[in-house]
Amino acid sequence: MRFCSRLAASVLLGVLSVAAWGQAAPAQPDPSPPGDPWAALTGLRQRLAAEGPQRAEFTQTYVPAGFTSGESENGTVALALPDCLRWDYREPYPKSFLLCGHDAYSWNPGEPVGRHYRVESRDEPGLDLLLLSVEALRARYGATLKRGEGGAHEVWLAPLAPAANTPVSATLVLDASGARLTGLAYRDREGNQTRFTLANYQPIRGGGRDLFEPDRKVEWRDE
């Protein structure tokens, strides 16, 4: 299956933020920084799941290979773990993406037609992070935990068996408590870099059921 480039970038953000969903862990993670990067990701996911559906503001910056700066976009990301993630980009190019289980959707607000993708395989690079347990992920990815600015936790990930459609490296930034994903950066095999920052997490009132269901007024075309 081939996603459009922006959907692929957004999916990577989402799946990395919930990479540890298959591992059992206390609902309230230890606020002291763990030495195990997988424990840090597990604690992050457990806290987000315990808090219920959340929405955050994001800024995405794409820097092409050979350049020192690039274009930025912003919007909101909504999470209903462990099944659903949604991204809504604002101006200048409004676009929305929804991933729930094995189904992904992309559409332009106000347009009558959208695209539907079926995510079938647990072996698809990137999406395997959403579908596999931590033990299985450890067999596929290497991870290192580092200290960042202001006491932030930085989790560095790299595939153990690199493939053409996997990133060369990815870095997740958690706040000093380990309870919030505040940033992500990754570099692809062509040298392009993508950076996300996230802030202003808020609970979604009423569970946000409509946010995580495809709009019935849109005609969904399979890709």
Q: What is the mean pLDDT of each run of 10 residues along the chain (223 residues)?
A: 46 47 38 69 77 89 90 89 84 87 88 87 52 70 84 85 70 84 83 88 82 92 89
Residues 174 and 183 sit within 8 Å (Cβ to Cβ): no
Which of 85, 82, 104, 108 lies closest to 21, judged by CA? 82
Predicted local confidence at residue 138, as pLDDT = 78
Contacts of 220 (CB under 8 A, 6+ apart): 105, 113, 114, 115, 116, 214
Structural domains in the chain plus CATH codes:
5-222 (2.50.20.10)
Contact 3, 103 (CB under 8 A): no
Looking at residue 165, its pLDDT comes to 60
> What is the per-residue pLDDT for 105?
92
Looking only at the bridges linking them, the beta strands covering 54-63 and 219-222 are: unpaired
Report the pLDDT value the prediction gives residue 18, as an integer from 0 to 100. 45
CB-based burial of residue 153 (10 Å sphere; 0-12 exposed, 13-18 middle, 19+ buried)? Answer: buried
DSSP-assigned beta bridge partners for residue 98 = 86, 105
